[in-house]
């Protein structure tokens, strides 16, 4: 029996080693692709949730200002008290973080008592889920 030279053999398929190498390379490539694109797929809803929470904060701020401007008998003291006692009147999913009268002196706001003709009501509301905040400055009507 004569042994055929290596190059003259009739190769009709892949050897077991070649198949194992192809499987290993393919699995490494798929793992890298999945890790790269997997974060896009799983994090794709994050901007939508942040946009929704920002819209909820904006709606709460607009509702605060709308109720203040519609009530002709309202003043800053009643708005401050309403926000302190019942903030759910203006929406859900937010916390009133700051609700004080301030006055700007040398570009800094300082807390003061109500009644100063130059006072402003500074309201800071923060979304409960995303921790985003809006600050509103309300002037006397």
Query: For residue 128, what are the domain limits?
Result: 46-138
Mean pLDDT for the stretch of residues 94-119: 82
pTM of the model: 0.63
User: What pLDDT, on a 0 to 100 scale, did the predictor assign at position 64?
Assistant: 87
Asked whether the beta carbons of 68 and 87 are under 8 A apart, the reply is no
User: What pLDDT, on a 0 to 100 scale, did the predictor assign at position 49?
Assistant: 82
94 domain-assigned: yes
2 domain-assigned: no
Looking at 42-46, 62-66, 80-84, 112-116, which range is the least confident one?
42-46
Task: Report the domain count for the chain.
Answer: 1
37 domain-assigned: no
DSSP letter, residue 89: G
11 domain-assigned: no
19 domain-assigned: no
Q: Which of 40, 41, 54 is nearest to 129 (CA)?
A: 54
Reduced to 3 states (helix: H, G, I; strand: E, B; else coil), residue 82 is: helix
89 domain-assigned: yes
Strands, E assignment, the chain: 94-105, 108-111, 120-127, 133-138
62 domain-assigned: yes
CB atoms within 10 A of CB 93: 15
Reduced to 3 states (helix: H, G, I; strand: E, B; else coil), residue 40 is: helix
134 domain-assigned: yes
Instruction: Report whether pLDDT(7) > 70.
Output: no
């Amino acid at each position: 029996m004569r042994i055929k030279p290596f190059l003259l053999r009739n190769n009709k398929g892949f050897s077991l080693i070649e198949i194992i190498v192809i499987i290993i390379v393919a699995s490494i490539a798929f793992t890298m692709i999945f890790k790269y694109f997997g974060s896009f797929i799983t994090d794709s809803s994050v901007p939508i949730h942040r946009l929704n929470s920002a819209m909820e904060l904006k709606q709460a701020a607009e509702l605060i200002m709308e109720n203040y401007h519609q009530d002709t008998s309202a003043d800053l003291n009643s708005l401050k008290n309403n926000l302190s006692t019942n903030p759910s009147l203006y929406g859900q999913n937010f916390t009133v973080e700051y609700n004080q009268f301030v006055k700007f002196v040398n570009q800094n706001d300082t807390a003061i008592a109500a009644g100063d003709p130059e006072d402003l009501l500074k309201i800071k509301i923060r979304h409960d889920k995303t921790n985003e905040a809006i600050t509103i400055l309300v002037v006397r009507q």
